[in-house]
Amino acid sequence: MKFVLGLLTGLVLGAVGAVLYSVQSGRDLREAVDQVRSEFDTRDLDALGARLEARFTQMQAQLEERIGQAREKATSAVDQASEAAKEGADRAAEAAKQAVETATTPVETPGADAEPAG
């Protein structure tokens, strides 16, 4: 049972990978496999190496682009968080200042010259 499940999982993942490759590269995976196979069969290792090098360069560019996007999002989130923290600190400082002013204001108590209630 595990073998059948593993086989089906592999087939599904392979099909999904082929579709993703075709969508991202705009080329059919079968054509790319045929080209690589023909280069390998004719022992044209220079062409195969050039193809692999081009793919690695393309993957590196995509990876750097995605890293740049992630950095921009992280920087934006940090900026927003620091602005919110600054606003919160300003509000807390203002509330503390008002509390100190309220606490230091003398309370008027009736003195000896006040008339008793009655």
Q: What is the pLDDT of residue 70?
A: 93
Q: What is the dihedral of CA 9, 13, 19, 22, to 10 degrees?
A: -150
Q: What is the pLDDT of residue 72?
A: 93
Length in residues, the chain: 118
Q: What is the mean pLDDT of each run of 10 residues along the chain (118 residues)?
A: 86 82 74 77 77 85 91 91 90 88 69 57
